[in-house]
Amino acid sequence: MFAKQQSDPWAFQILVTLLFAGLVFLRLTIPSHLYFDEIHYVPAARAMIAGHPANPEHPMLAKAMIAGSIRIFGDNPLGWRMPSALMGVIGLWAFGRALWYASGRAMASVAGMVLLATDFAWYVQSRIAMLDMVMAGLAMVALWLIAGAIRRTDGARWRIVGAGLVLGLSLGAKWSVLPVWAVVVALVLGARLWTFATGGRPILPALSMVELGLCLIVLPLGAYWLTYLPGFFTARDAVPTLDPLGWHRHMIDLQSSVTKHHPYQSVWSQWIINWRAIWYLYEVTDGAQRGVMLIGNPFTMIAGLIALIWAGWSGMRRGAWLPLVLVALYCASLGLWIVGNKPVQFYYHYLLPGTFLMGALGLMVDELWASRGQRRRHEAFGVLVLSLGVFAWFFPILSAAALTKGVASFEDWMWLASWR
């Protein structure tokens, strides 16, 4: 399916990344006050600057990055949101490069980037001072490094070392990346064991099985624990350096203790059908009525489910590994929230599953594009046009634009009553 590699589409990918960056930084400082979960993470970053860590139920890296950004840009909206903005842009680029190395298909990798950039969630989370985009952006960098190591023999060892470090850092931002790490380890080490058993060509031949285990299991764990370094030396509530298990039991207890109902909470079955939105902001602020709504792109999130089924069928029928990997990543990252012991969940937990959904849809667009017949090419082009069109229609309430109809403005975008 992806045997013949085409010309590297790096120029198109740079263009998509730059256009996305321009939209991310447009009105990034609006609202000029904290909104939604920024009320938890920005004060935690301020506490870190003061030497008194807060918000201990979550890992420290993303909060430390917000603290560092505040030191550089000031305690203002730009300082609060810069880490998410940068990681959103970097993560989009890394996602596209990972698709390119993994597939060797120019259309798949560029289409995947366009679909992710316009899936709503990646954009909205790139503009708010939360933990999710630091985690997701680093996860995409890790997948880029791994795909590059598999595709190219030169520098494979250092790419895998880098991937291990970045996976650990991603985990140090938020635990949501755990399933991605598990799938990577299972697939890479499982593929190596399979080649041992069958006598086939080993994956990543430059590294031994022991080296792969060290790079993808031990190194991420070490990097992850080092992200707690700022908490090792605080005067009070210090992280116990030599008791990681005890500290993590404490963190899990804190997360499980949050049981109070939230009006915007939802569950996985609602996420996959795009049923429940979250209004991060809807008020008069900065001189106008403004809103920020988190929901998935109504077109691509449903089309992505069709693409996911196609990817599973196509991967098994043709023996193509990439579609099956995307299915595995989607199911694992969603499965965490199905089986996880977190009483209160939100649509933003669908960020990673939605990302892999866009990867599968990108592959399906490429399949249509590569098919013989003008009609199929029109269908592939139509998917991208519709995704961009729906994104453009919803853009005012994704980007905190001034709304012209006052308090009733939101009615223009309420396709479902459950989005209110």
Q: What is the per-residue pLDDT across 361-397, written as a single tens digit (0 to 9) for each?
A: 999 999 999 886 778 888 999 999 999 999 999 999 9
pLDDT digits (tens, 9 = 90+) for 152-193: 878 899 999 999 999 999 999 999 999 999 999 999 999 888
Give SS3 for 32: coil
Nearest Cα residue to 71 out of 100, 94, 50: 50
**Mean pLDDT in residue range 327-339:** 96
pLDDT classification of 258: cutoffs 50, 70, 90: confident
Tokens of 385: 């046009």
Place of tokens 């988190």: 294
pLDDT classification of 300: cutoffs 50, 70, 90: very high
> How high is the pLDDT of residue 2?
41
Q: Is there a contact between 299 and 390 (Cβ–Cβ < 8 Å)?
A: yes
> How high is the pLDDT of residue 5?
62
Distances (CA, A) of 281 to 32, 123, 124: 12, 15, 11
> How high is the pLDDT of residue 122?
98
Question: Amino acid identity, residue 378?
Answer: H
Half-sphere exposure (CA, 13 Å, Cβ side) for 186?
Answer: 10
Place of tokens 């993303």: 62
Strand partners for 281:
292
> How many other CB atoms sit within 10 Å of the CB of residue 172?
26
pLDDT at 139 over 90: yes
The share of the chain scoring above pLDDT 70, in percent, equals: 99
> How high is the pLDDT of residue 1?
38
> How high is the pLDDT of residue 170?
98
Place of tokens 């929230």: 337
* Chain CA centroid to CA 199, Å: 36
Host H or E run for residue 294? strand 288-294
User: Who wins on pLDDT, 225 or 236?
Assistant: 225
> How many other CB atoms sit within 10 Å of the CB of residue 95?
31
pLDDT at 4 over 80: no
**Mean pLDDT in residue range 209-235:** 94
What torsion, rounded to 10 degrees, do the Cα atoms 118, 121, 127, 131 define?
-140
User: What pTM, to 2 d.p., does this model score?
Assistant: 0.95
> How high is the pLDDT of residue 3?
43
pLDDT at 350 over 60: yes
Q: What is the CA radius of gyration of the chain?
A: 21
